A and B are shown apart, each in its own frame.
Chain A
Amino acid sequence: MSSLKLLAPTLALSAFAFALFGLDTFKNRLSASARTSGFWVTLIGLAVTAALVPWAGLDIPVSYGRGMLIADGLSFFLTWIALMTTFLVVLMSEFDRTFEGLSLSVYYGLLLLAATGLILVVSANDFLMIFLGIELVGVPGFILTAYLRHVEKSSEAGIKFFLIGAFSSAMLAYGISLLYGITGSTSLTSLQNGAALLQDKAPLALVAIFFILVSFGFKIALVPFHMWVPDAFEGAPTPIAAFLSVAPKVAGVAIALRVFTIDMAGSSLGSIHVLAILAALTMTVANLIGLRQTNVVRLLAYSSIAHMGYLLLGLVAGGAAGIASVYLYAGVYLFMNLGAFSVVVCLSNALQSNDLSAYAGLGKRAPFLSAVFVLFLLSLAGLPPTAGFIAKFYVFTAAYNAGWLWLVLIATVNSVISVGYYFKILRAMYFAAPVSETPVPVNVATRLILAGTAFATLFLGIIPQYGFAVTDKLVNKPAAVDAVVTSSATVQSPVVP
């Protein structure tokens, strides 16, 4: 398969992104028709991209783009996650009333550009490509966070996010440069082959891995690198908070899976243990702080941090089961988390507030919204019969089977703690008396998103076999990874010492 065909989704996405940037020059940017045409161009762009996603490398990974990129189960699955996230966020944004009076074409263009970056990151087989991809996710992300120019909090969140992002990218670049110094190459494949070299240069390699770990920690917001998340989420437009709760994490998880679980499986230099400790710390701290939150968006921010802790269990476990469990967790997390966020978007439009006190008695005012919110919260808390339980079950079994009993114990206790704050929302919605009697309107797009995500959350919880079958199939066998080493030899390889 030619590289061009494999690159088609990224090319299409960026083409549509630039088309969207140009759209405003042809139309009166604030007119209703400009807005709708931007929305439809975005949707078409996403549909075209989805049609172009190559079904390649599912059995044997294919490397392309001069060995810079790779198509395999990981890239395939996470590409779809990225596209679906973008699709749901676009739907959420179009009907979010906070954007009234703002042109959205540029906004959508930036979203598509970020999605392009995501696809590049998850397909990257070279540290330079990882860096490029991360920047391509990051820069549109900063702008999108600060998109509500007239809102002070939004700008503040954007600046914070930008500084942290720039800082962590610098760390990443530094780590990469050190690794390059050791192995003489930025390719991940050479990392895999250079295990002995890394061991040999242990202190320097450790420093390099430390920097990479830290930057990765910032991207997926592990404790203690999580400070930016609640502020960025609270200040950003809520659909962008939803996007940030999934997109950068997907990128981070992809990097971690590739670097630590797949390519460095034999020579982790203790990085797996560091990840395990980070996972324990992330879950515990995020859940404990989560208990004190009264703003729903901040609460979901801490929840998203804690969920990355659970997800890391699968990463730490490694092996086919561990990787498959990370896939499943990422997929389930997408549905339940974006579902929860779209409820919050809809409610914040109607209530003009994200405070828990405004949610009082919603069970009566918005029975449908509240009922599906309950479902998402139960799923986030990991209670059966929802997908969240299945996902947790899968990562817990993987970690248990790999011998991480202590980590599983901490994770299970954490899921009990998390109930404490998820149920604060339940309590407000169902136990408290409503502050007003007016029903909350729900627009068609929100209904669609909610029906879809709620169905997925329940379906994967009751008949999880489909989820397991898909994720298991997408894990490339270790033998197959070896195969690519020989096959990629034909591709012009980067500098080899």
Chain B
Amino acid sequence: MMGVLSLITFLPLLGGILILLVPKEKPQLVRVVAAASSGAAFIASLWLWANFNSGTSDFQYVEKFNWIPTFNIHYFMGVDGLSLMLLILTTLLTLLSIIMSFNIELRIKEYFFFFLLLETAMLGVFVSLDLFLFYVFWELTLVPMYFLIGIWGGPKKEYAAIKFFLFTLFGSVFMLIALLALYFNSAPHTFDYLELLKQSPTLAKSLQLWIFLGLYLGFAVKIPAFPFHTWLPLAHVEAPTAVSVILAGVLLKMGTYGILRFSFPLLPLAAQRLAYAIAVVAAINIVYGAFCSLAQTDIKRMIAYSSVNHMGYALLGMASLNVIGFNGAALQMINHGIITGALFMLVGVIYDRAHTRDVNAFGGLGTKLPVYTGIMTLACFASLGLPLLSGFVSEFLCFLGSFQVVQYRYLTLISLLGILITAAFFLIMIKKVFLGPFNTKWENLKDMDARELIATVPLCVLMILFGILPSILLSPMNATLTHLVDLLKLPQP
């Protein structure tokens, strides 16, 4: 008997297989099937939320079957507050990205097939509670992403695709070894998350440190944490618009999710020992990412580097190992997905029209494209953390969490610098593109059409909504995050 989580996870794949059966001459039908299957997954995930019990940190909608008895591996799925929110983020962003991709004309069947396969893999990552299953889904995200960047990407797409692939694979094989270490040091041997959680206090500290480092390599590449971030600007810039949205909106979250879900609770001693190092990495991500953004003239590259900076906030919140920090980190993951997703879509909008993303090529677009300017400015403000927009709340919570840790005071202060620089580069970009004298070269530029509005407006609404009422997101996650912090406290002598 398939449960609702399996249904949500495999609905997109089903749609993808259907698409392969649709004749090539009917591109419209391909688009409809793609939107319908990802839409169905989105509605099902909302249903999940509606029937979700926020009061408990236990896993809900659990499905558990024997899969590979020889290795005591189970097909084990379930969601708690954290994974539920990321699940919904994934289904929402995929649906909107698919709508955004309706203008794709090249090899359209393959495109939507890979897109839906990617969605299945991402959803699987967030709902798996057996580490083997998790790893399978984790690796499964690579291949569709490779094709999506490599076929539909920009001028340097092939290099970007293979670099993305090799970087992530390199990280994840170390993760695999760390998982094997976890497996063989449990009794009876298991990949079951809940079982491992029970046994985590008995793991020797030195072993925990090694396993933590192995897992961290896998996760850090995905986040991407300095110094493993070099694949990101390239992949983002070369990827087609909708793929950048997914890359920034969901794939990066897999890294932070992995640390929050697996590394910290399963290896509490190592987490406490290495938290400071992670905070340092976070501070570097924040400041270095911001400076890199400041130096860019390509808008897409700028936003790509701003992801390095924003994921730094989430990492800093996580490294503080307290409830406020965790809340901030989890919220930042969702908000960054929404905001940066919108920003990449908006960059795509202007690139489709002008075929350039150079900030200096534009000027005075504000009067010519009022709707576009309004939405873009809103998204930029949300991203730079203007109060009453969603980015502010999560960044604030991350800093509040890390400021509570005495050792992090200076790191937090340095990181605050990142906020300033972020504001600077976004404002400079707005000034150059939308204000000033109108560049007559863009006389014939059209404002956003219906497809683009349908894809971006919901995200803008959410930015405002979650800026005013962050509790919508925080309340389902709170019990889970409190529990995760408690797990870290347990083994202290």
Q: Determine if B151 and A413 form an interchain contact, defined as CB atoms under 8 angstroms apart.
A: no
Identify the closest chain B residue to A381 (Cβ). B169
Given A396-B180, A412-B177, A465-B68, A385 and B147 contact (CB-CB distance below 8 Å): no
Q: Determine if B165 and A431 form an interchain contact, defined as CB atoms under 8 angstroms apart.
A: no
Q: Taking chain B's interface residues, is the majority helix, strand, or loop, or is none over half, making it mixed?
A: helix
Q: Is A430 interfacial (CB-CB < 8 Å)?
A: yes
Q: Determine if A416 and B157 form an interchain contact, defined as CB atoms under 8 angstroms apart.
A: no
Q: Determine if A384 and B147 form an interchain contact, defined as CB atoms under 8 angstroms apart.
A: no
Chain A residues 226-283 with CB under 8 Å of chain B are: none
Of A385, A393, A400, the residue contacting B184 (CB under 8 A) is A400
Q: How far is the CA of A408 from the CA of B179 in the complex (A)?
A: 13
Q: Mark A468-492, 1 if CB is under 8 A from B, else 0.
A: 1100100000000000000000000
In the complex, what residues of A have CB within 8 A of residue B139's CB? 383-384, 389
Q: Is B14 interfacial (CB-CB < 8 Å)?
A: no
Q: Determine if A416 and B177 form an interchain contact, defined as CB atoms under 8 angstroms apart.
A: no
Cβ of B254 to closest chain A Cβ, rounded Å: 15
Q: How far is the CA of A179 from the CA of B201 in the complex (A)?
A: 53
Q: How far is the CA of A370 from the CA of B181 in the complex (A)?
A: 37
Number of CB contacts from chain A to chain B under 8 A: 72
Q: Determine if A469 and B135 form an interchain contact, defined as CB atoms under 8 angstroms apart.
A: no
Given A396-B180, A420-B166, A472-B70, A378 and B143 contact (CB-CB distance below 8 Å): yes
Q: How far is the CA of A412 from the CA of B169 in the complex (A)?
A: 10
Q: How far is the CA of A415 from the CA of B142 in the complex (A)?
A: 15
In the complex, what residues of A have CB within 8 A of residue B147's CB? 430
Q: How far is the CA of A383 from the CA of B173 in the complex (A)?
A: 10
In the complex, what residues of A have CB within 8 A of residue B142's CB? 383
Of A385, A393, A405, the residue contacting B140 (CB under 8 A) is A385
Chain A residues 409-453 with CB under 8 Å of chain B are: 409, 412-413, 415-416, 419-420, 423, 426-427, 430-431
Q: How far is the CA of A385 from the CA of B139 in the complex (A)?
A: 8
Q: How far is the CA of A282 from the CA of B290 in the complex (A)?
A: 45
Q: Determine if A385 and B136 form an interchain contact, defined as CB atoms under 8 angstroms apart.
A: yes
Cβ of A127 to closest chain B Cβ, rounded Å: 34
Q: Determine if B70 and A468 form an interchain contact, defined as CB atoms under 8 angstroms apart.
A: yes
Count of residues in B whose CB is under 8 Å from the partner chain:
32
Count of residues in A whose CB is under 8 Å from the partner chain:
30
Q: Is B63 interfacial (CB-CB < 8 Å)?
A: no
Of A400, A427, A469, the residue contacting B150 (CB under 8 A) is A427
In the complex, what residues of A have CB within 8 A of residue B140's CB? 384-385
Q: Determine if A408 and B177 form an interchain contact, defined as CB atoms under 8 angstroms apart.
A: yes
In the complex, what residues of B have CB within 8 A of residue A416's CB? 166, 169-170, 173
Q: Determine if A423 and B68 form an interchain contact, defined as CB atoms under 8 angstroms apart.
A: no
Cβ of A490 to closest chain B Cβ, rounded Å: 36
Q: Is A464 interfacial (CB-CB < 8 Å)?
A: yes
In the complex, what residues of A have CB within 8 A of residue B176's CB? 393, 396, 412
Q: Is B162 interfacial (CB-CB < 8 Å)?
A: yes
Q: How far is the CA of A420 from the CA of B140 in the complex (A)?
A: 17
Q: Is B69 interfacial (CB-CB < 8 Å)?
A: yes
In the complex, what residues of A have CB within 8 A of residue B110's CB? 363
In the complex, what residues of B have CB within 8 A of residue A363's CB? 110
Given A427-B158, A431-B157, A465-B68, A413 and B173 contact (CB-CB distance below 8 Å): yes
Q: Determine if A431 and B170 form an interchain contact, defined as CB atoms under 8 angstroms apart.
A: no
Cβ of A88 to closest chain B Cβ, rounded Å: 26
In the complex, what residues of A have CB within 8 A of residue B67's CB? 465
Q: Is A401 interfacial (CB-CB < 8 Å)?
A: yes
In the complex, what residues of A have CB within 8 A of residue B150's CB? 427, 430-431
Identify the closest chain A residue to B170 (Cβ). A416
Q: Determine if B135 and A384 form an interchain contact, defined as CB atoms under 8 angstroms apart.
A: yes
Q: Is A75 interfacial (CB-CB < 8 Å)?
A: no
Q: Is B442 interfacial (CB-CB < 8 Å)?
A: no
Q: Is A354 interfacial (CB-CB < 8 Å)?
A: no
Cβ of B115 to closest chain A Cβ, rounded Å: 15
Q: How far is the CA of A427 from the CA of B146 in the complex (A)?
A: 10
Q: Is B174 interfacial (CB-CB < 8 Å)?
A: yes
Q: Determine if A431 and B151 form an interchain contact, defined as CB atoms under 8 angstroms apart.
A: yes
In the complex, what residues of A have CB within 8 A of residue B177's CB? 396, 400, 405, 408-409, 412
In the complex, what residues of B have CB within 8 A of residue A389's CB? 136, 139
Q: Is B410 interfacial (CB-CB < 8 Å)?
A: no
Q: Mark B132-169, 1 if CB is under 8 A from A, else 0.
A: 00011001101100110011000001100110011001
Q: Is B47 interfacial (CB-CB < 8 Å)?
A: no
Cβ of A420 to closest chain B Cβ, rounded Å: 7
Q: How far is the CA of A396 from the CA of B142 in the complex (A)?
A: 21
In the complex, what residues of A have CB within 8 A of residue B135's CB? 384
Q: Determine if A401 and B184 form an interchain contact, defined as CB atoms under 8 angstroms apart.
A: yes
Q: Determine if B70 and A419 form an interchain contact, defined as CB atoms under 8 angstroms apart.
A: no
In the complex, what residues of A have CB within 8 A of residue B70's CB? 465, 468-469, 472
In the complex, what residues of B have CB within 8 A of residue A401's CB? 184
Given A383-B143, A431-B150, A423 and B162 contact (CB-CB distance below 8 Å): yes
In the complex, what residues of B have CB within 8 A of residue A423's CB? 146, 162, 165
Chain B residues 163-199 with CB under 8 Å of chain A are: 165-166, 169-170, 173-174, 176-177, 180-181, 183-184
Q: Mark A321-351, 1 if CB is under 8 A from B, else 0.
A: 0000000000000000000000000000000
Give the 9 A-B CB pairs with smallest separation, nearest first: A412-B173, A468-B70, A384-B136, A384-B139, A416-B170, A400-B180, A416-B169, A465-B68, A431-B150
A-B contact pairs, 30 of them (CB 8 A): A378-B143, A383-B143, A383-B169, A384-B139, A385-B136, A385-B140, A396-B176, A396-B177, A396-B180, A397-B180, A397-B183, A400-B177, A408-B177, A409-B177, A412-B176, A415-B173, A416-B169, A416-B170, A416-B173, A423-B162, A427-B150, A427-B158, A427-B162, A430-B150, A431-B150, A431-B157, A431-B158, A465-B67, A468-B71, A469-B70
| Contacts A412-B177, A416-B166, A431-B150 supplied; 6 other A-B pairs, CB < 8 Å | A397-B184, A416-B170, A419-B166, A426-B146, A431-B158, A468-B68
